Amino acid sequence: MLDVVDIAKILPHRFPFLLVDRVVDLKEGEFIEAYKNVTIGEQIFQGHFPGHPIYPGVMIIEGMAQAGGILAFESMSKDEQDGTNDKVVYFMSIDKAKFRSPVKPGDKLVYKLSVLKHKGSIWVLKSEAFVDDKLACEAELKAMIVDK
């Protein structure tokens, strides 16, 4: 549905911090499914951990948040989207975060987020990350779209 070139038009993040490779499903105002291919070539594995590479939980949370940002921006009206370059999504809170299983190089990390609440510029999202249909991480994310 959206490839990394399309995603880069929506999010301000760039390599090595753009953590969404593709959006495969999205229903405006309701849900998004996206993924990141985790590879051994990622800089983070130089230090986390040498000889035992594990993708950091904080990066999984950030990837889910970026997917949530795509959902929020794509859910805006066409008039609102005209000013997207002047807007950014800020975290407000991360609640109920749990890490269920490690993510390793070679894994396809699938982000599934659904809207719990949306009022004005504030979004509350149920966020989950899976590897091979196994839950790796879950959290409730709250974010706000603001002017840069």
Q: How far does the chain reach from its first CA to its final CA, in angstroms?
A: 27
Specify whether the CB–CB gap between 19 and 13 falls below 8 A: yes
Q: What angle do CA 72, 98, 68 make, to 5 degrees?
A: 10
State the catalytic residues: 48
- Backbone conformation region of residue 102, classed left if phi is above 0, alpha if psi is from -120 to 50, else beta: beta
